[in-house]
Structure formats: C-alpha cells, structure tokens
C-alpha cells in the first residue's frame, strides 16, 4: 500500500504527524507526566481502533508508532543532556598588552581521554594561511609547557590536554605560524595575546 492509496483523511492524518515531527516543540525536554500522557493517548487510540476498518487501524497504529518514537527520542535527548558533566573548574581569561580589553573564560572537565577545556574568548582577529593561535597549559614557574591545540580564532574552542590542571594551572594563548620540518616547530612560542590561571601562582 502506497501513500497515494490512502484516503484524503488518512493522508491528512499522516501529514499532521509529519508536521509534529518538524515542530521544535516536539523535541522539548519532556515533562515529568509525559509517560502517563502517552499511555493515556495509546489507550484512547485502542478504544477507537475497536470500531475502525482495517485500513483505519493501520493508519492509527502508524500514528501511535510515530508519536512513541518522537517521545522516545525526546526522552533520550533529555537523559543525554542530564548526563553531561558539569565543569570542574573555571578560569578567567584576559588579554595582554597585545590584545587590551580582551576577556573570556575557560572551563575544565576531566574525562577518560584527558582534560577538556572549553574556551570562550571573542575579539581576537582570525588567523589563516599558515598562521594560527596556539593554546598552551603550563606550570606556575613556566618551566614545563604542554600544547593543547591550534585554532583559527578563539571565539569558541574545545581544547584537550593530557595533564592535570592542578599541575598545569596556567593557560596561555600565543600567535604562531607554520614552520619548516627542521625548524623549532612546536617549541616555538610566539607573541602571547591572552592568558588565564586556575591558581594564584606565586613563583
């Protein structure tokens, strides 16, 4: 049976459910009584099905299946959102004399693969053509530096570090450019344009 074989009423019913799937409100966070409402809707459809023709029964069951799938996806989105870990620490970011007035923040979340660093630092000009921004984390004394990613801009980036923030609490953003394979490469520290720290370094 194809869509064209359905009656006008049945096609309208399916179009109505298609519209519901395209409505952003369908995917809103489910309410606490959503399950009870869904069960009540299914019971109502069951009572309706007891006196319908076979074709109407197929259409109604399809509608219930679509509604159930939508509710399941919405519930899954809610559960996944609820399981997103909260940042463990936040560091304020600020510009240097090369980027005066620049402000932002960096949020740290420890995960199994490393430390995720989510940074919001809008205001720096975009860098392309072999030029980029480099994020570093380092200790208070500056004797140990670890690269945490390269970016075109710093408006919103997600960086990763494989070292503990307690040991490397300082973040530094530098301007860098691609270098030949026999050059200093990643050891080269360009001009510092922004920084932040999780700890008050005294050394």
d(CA 83, CA 75): 12
3-class secondary-structure state, position 15: helix
CATH no. of 89-197: 2.60.40.200
The confidence score (pLDDT) of residue 56 equals 52
Domain coordinates in residue numbering, the chain: 3-83, 89-197
Sheet with 103-111, side-by-side order of all strands: 145-151, 131-138, 170-177, 192-197, 89-95, 103-111, 114-120, 156-161
Summarize pLDDT for 60-102 with one digit per residue, the tens: 555 555 555 555 544 444 444 445 568 889 999 999 999 999 9
Summarize pLDDT for 153-167 with one digit per residue, the tens: 999 999 999 999 999
Note if the pTM is more than 0.75.
no
Q: Is the pLDDT of residue 115 over 90?
A: yes
Give residue 182's pLDDT band: very low, low, confident or very high (50, 70, 90).
Answer: low
């Amino acid at each position: 049976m194809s869509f064209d074989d359905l009656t006008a009423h049945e096609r309208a019913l399916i179009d109505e459910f298609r519209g519901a799937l395209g409505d952003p409100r369908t995917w809103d966070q489910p309410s606490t009584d959503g399950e009870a409402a869904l069960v009540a809707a299914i019971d109502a459809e069951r009572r309706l099905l007891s006196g319908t023709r076979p074709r109407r029964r197929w259409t109604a069951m399809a509608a219930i299946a679509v509604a159930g799938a939508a509710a399941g996806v919405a519930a899954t989105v809610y559960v996944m959102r609820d399981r997103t870990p909260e940042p463990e620490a936040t560091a304020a970011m600020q510009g240097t004399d090369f980027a005066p007035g620049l402000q932002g923040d960096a949020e740290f979340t420890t995960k199994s693969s490393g430390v995720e660093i989510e940074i919001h630092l809008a205001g720096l000009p975009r860098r392309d053509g072999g030029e980029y921004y480099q994020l570093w984390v380092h200790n208070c004394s500056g004797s140990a530096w670890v690269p945490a990613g390269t970016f075109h801009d710093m408006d919103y980036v997600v960086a990763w570090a494989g070292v503990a923030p307690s040991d490397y609490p300082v973040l530094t953003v530098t301007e860098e450019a691609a270098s030949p394979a026999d050059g200093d490469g990643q050891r080269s520290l360009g001009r510092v344009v922004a920084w932040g720290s999780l700890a008050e370094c005294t050394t």
